[in-house]
Amino acid sequence: MQSDVKKLVHDITEASDESRIVFPDVVKGLTRAGVERYHANLIDGTRTYYMPDDSFEVVQSRKTVAPAATFLPEKVENAVRTIQRGEIDYREFCDRIAAAGCVGYFVSLAGRRAQYYGRTNETYTELFPGTT
């Protein structure tokens, strides 16, 4: 991963954690930089950004509340809808999905979807708005 892209993913992570940037802007910035996908680990508070050549950068981010033991996909979906409406910020979103048993999520910029998962790999997949 080139140094300018490394700087960008660090800046985007910080801006997101501080609720200075919203998800559509994250997607635009990462896509423009050529990032293919990323993984957010809610347990250790890291995000790993991947390029199409499989180079990557691990960035420290904010840890959430301890994720619940049981994965509740309907509560994850509710948190997604709530942040999409602009009613909560990213910090609150992460705390809500953790409370719903989510321990991490993958975002595929190329696939235009996010997949949230629990401790035993139950999943909830959310397509980006406008994706069919």
pLDDT tens sequence across 49-78:
999 999 999 999 988 889 999 999 999 999
Percent with pLDDT over 70 in the chain: 98
pTM reported for the whole predicted model: 0.92
Q: Report residue 97 as tokens.
A: 């999905």
d(CA 96, CA 12): 21
Does 109 have pLDDT greater than 70? yes
Order of all β-strands in the sheet with 56-60: 56-60, 46-50, 37-41, 102-108, 113-118, 123-127
Q: For the residues 78-105, what does the mean pLDDT come to?
A: 95
Helix (H) or strand (E) holding 78: helix 73-84
Q: Domains plus CATH for the chain?
A: 3-127 (3.30.1810.10)
